[in-house]
Chains A and B, each alone.
Chain A
Amino acid sequence: MSQTDTPETLDTALDRQRDLAQDLGEYKFGWSDSDTGYSFTSGRGLTRETVAAISERKDEPAWMRDVRLRAFEAYERRPMPNWGSDLSGINFDDIYYYVEASEQQANSWEDLPPEIMETYEKLGIPEAERKRLIAGVAAQYESTVLYHKVREDLEEEGVIFLDTDTALKEHEELFRKHFATVIPANDNKFAALNTAVWSGGSFIWIPEGVKVDIPLQAYFRINKQNMGQFERTLIIADPGSYVHYVEGCTAPVYSSDSLHSAVVEIIVKEGARVRYTTIQNWSTNVYNLVTKRAQAYRNATMEWVDGNIGSKVTMKYPAVWLMEEGAKGEVLSVAYAHDGQHQDAGAKMVHAAPNTTSNILSKSISKGSGRTSYRGLVAVKKGAHHARAAVKCDALMLDADSRSDTYPYMEVEEEDATIEHEATVSKLSDDQMFYLRARGIEEDEATAMIVRGFIEPIARELPMEYAVELNRLIALEMEGAIG
């Protein structure tokens, strides 16, 4: 597609973003591509043979096959979690664990199959690309990354931004050295499952001192009924580097439940800074069970910006392990649950070294029969003196049926540490509503304004098009809300 557009005025750009957000809102009412054109699937259900077949299909080195098989054993051994959300609705035997849409990775937009291109049009990716608001777009269609473009100047600086399967082939040593070091295969049942059947995801390596000044971005989509998506992302930021990675998730509506279980590992070396932004808007039949963890070394900074709008059930607790002195961790989290949804999200901060600091800000909104839970851990290990941690959770409940829970865990093994936790739960303020209504603002719009104000501290941390998308999604969800 042509890149010769004239520079847009700010107004046009904003209009486009509004349109884009509109489109993003519309797909949720349900569309999907036809089911033809998959070149390979593993079939439903999971056995040791399936795991071996996935590895063989991908032509992987033997060590990776062995890692997958060991992980599969751990997956079978580990019990389902007996806390958090109700996961009894997942039928593990009815899920496709591996689906491949086409053999080749496309190098440019025009190479994509038409129906896939259409899907991306609806998601607005080319617009985003044209506006050059984003850098490399790793577009993930089903389990295989099809479209992958990294801006040339990034390549010149030595940045590696590939889909994870290609990275395994092209940078095996670097890959092997870091893979599953932050989240071991037997960390939990779903991390084990992911390690056994992972496919796709992003692999990023930022060389020492390189600062990537525009967000790297990937869109993921589930587009086949009952297909689990098990992407695996690994980000390594060498000393003094900086990167902001943006992950967006969208999926069309299907009638039966599906599973998304990703693993994201991030290594932030001395003095480096990584920000990872997610807005997940899975359709409301998806179980979103994700393990995300970063290790931050000396004076490094790790920031998770985490938005949970969609899915039937989300269990996701982005973690930062503060490994060396001076490391910083931050989580900004916003969750929105409407009828039938349970957002069980939160954050984990493990202070394993002196003078480490962490900060968690969580905002949740529940509407209708929706349920939001903040579940978080702040642990201060022995010897992590002068650790400081602050946790703030605010919940807004819009309806009589809504539910909001707060489960903060604080474990302090060091005398010389300062840990603070605060939480509030409230309904829409009558005073605020009265103020807005008195000025002639309709009830729906007034509610939406209050909600936008409530999440503003997090929305302002997002890249602009994501902030627009978040607000648009919230506005869509708010339609018909009662004051």
Chain B
Amino acid sequence: MTDSSPATPQAGNVGSSPLEGGGKLTLDSLTEDFLLERSTADGEPDWLRDRRLAAFKNYRDQRWPERKLDEYWRNTPFAQLVDVGLPLVSRGDDITIEAPNALVESLDDPAAATLLDGEVVAVNVPDHLAEQGVLVLPLRQAAHDHADMVRTHLGSLTTTSDGTGADEDRTISVNDAAWDDGVFVHVPAEVEVTTPIGVQVHVTQPGTHLPRVLVVLGRFAKATVYVEHSSPDFERAEGTRRTPVLVDEVVEAIVGDGAALDLVTLNEFGGGVTHLSLQKAQANRDATYRHLSVNTGASTLRLRPEVDLVGAGASTYPTGVYFADEGQHFDLQPYIRHIAPRATSDVLYKGALQGKSRTIFRGNVLVSKEAVGTDTNETNRTLILTDGARADSTPFLEIHCADITAGHGSATGQIDARHLFYLESRGIPRDEALRLIVRGFFSEVLERFDAPGVRDHAMAQIEHEIDIADLDRIGVSDAATVGEDPHAPIASRG
């Protein structure tokens, strides 16, 4: 149905190589010819080509998500927000801007790679890590040089057949089929990397980007990985909620038996970007996977931070902070699947909103029948700072096993007038007091993560949001006065 889309006449144009028209192809007009020819031209191994073609078949059989038909898209209207008619940006397109400094660059000789508009432009692996077998390299190259490992793990988390309720949709199969280049990170068994490894995804051109990141930690390996997203601001056309940039991303992380991975994803694209991202990990026996997502960027962000706990005794701590301001739409969907016994998960997401913004927290914890001895907790807290924002919170639990401990909680509210009163009565000016309260709110999450630079960076992002806030408009709630005068003076002062 998409091959002959009349809106995209360049697709599979007659008489010339589909590759030449590749820059004009869109997500909606992807063709088998294009994939086949690009794969051949790049000399990809057969297994990778076949895998792309298999994903393309899924893509061809699927439709784009619809809010009324797809429960997981009910809060993010795909047709209104996501433009699948934007041309694919591919390697070789002019690169005019250097990527900004990555967070890891302040550290001492970190392993790092930068993916700039789909091309891996800078890779650094310090000698002492290279000697231990640590790999950071372009994914295409890894598909050749480390075929066994990439073949085993690439796409292992995007195709689920175990009926665990995965949200497989076209936005994922299209990345499986058409990702251009990405970054592969491997830490071999029993190697501990103390300095964080940086992966930077920087976008400078309008159009569609399909980044891909694969992180593999061997048995008892230990590492911290930062995945940073950045871009300039892009102008949005009048009268549309769609953006000129679409980033449809897949990050897969395999955490081997007894291994420990700390993954920090900074989802901080500029305005005018739609960021769809599956950030999914698989935790094997006794593995520990901690994830922090810092979500302040992009006009539309739909983030799926997911974890499959497939090994007994695995534990995961998915955490996130988010701060949405005027015009931003964040749909955050952490999904934890307890598939093995005695695993632990503790989800904590805290967010704030100001201006006309919308956030959705849709958490889900699934405990399968085999997952005896599961211990799980899921918490979401949202602070609505100013009028006009809307926050939805749906912390789900689906439990098929009785022998477990499970809890979840959610609260949405505003700044507590008593906290403000306490600080102001000690001579702290109102503006500063508000700032302190918001910082304190988020620090509960950030304190769980002591990776270098992350807390300061995240706090700076939050400070920036407070800087642009209209502090006079921030409302406070005094729980003690509810039911009395609705126009209590505290709420209207300042």
Contacts and interface: CB of A to CB of B under 8 A. Distances in A.
A348 interface: no
Interface stretch (A154-162, A287-295, A407-415, A437-445): A407-415
A6 interface: no
Which secondary structure characterizes the binding site on chain A?
Answer: strand
Interface string A240-268: 00000000000000000000000000000
A427 interface: yes
B464 interface: no
A427 B411 contact: no
A388 to B, nearest CB: 6
A385 B388 CA distance: 12
B395 A403 contact: no
Interface stretch (B33-41, B178-186, B330-338, B400-408): B400-408
A421 B482 CA distance: 19
A422 B393 CA distance: 12
Interface centre among B69, B391, B479 (most CB of A within 10 A): B391
Interface residues of A, number: 42
A420 B486 contact: no
A361 to B, nearest CB: 15
A419 B411 contact: yes
B29 to A, nearest CB: 30
A422 B412 contact: no
Contact of B69 (A82, A409, A419): A82
Interface residues of B, number: 43
A413 B475 CA distance: 14
A423 interface: yes
A419 B412 contact: yes
A418 B403 contact: no
Nearest to B69: A82
Interface string B358-376: 0000000000010010000
A422 B408 contact: yes
Contacts of A420: 409-411
Contacts of A411: 390-392
A330 to B, nearest CB: 15
A408 B486 contact: no
A307 interface: no
Given A415-B387, A416-B475, A400 B369 contact: yes
A388 B394 contact: no
B397 A425 contact: yes
Interface string A390-408: 0000010111111111111
A423 B389 contact: no
Contact of B395 (A326, A421, A424): A421
Given A397-B399, A400-B403, A406-B396, 14 more contacts: A357-B483, A386-B477, A401-B369, A406-B397, A410-B393, A412-B392, A416-B475, A417-B477, A421-B395, A422-B408, A423-B397, A423-B406, A424-B406, A427-B402
Interface of B: 69, 71, 369, 372, 382, 384-414, 475, 477, 479, 482-483, 486, 491
Interface of A: 82-83, 325-326, 354-355, 357, 385-386, 388, 395, 397-427
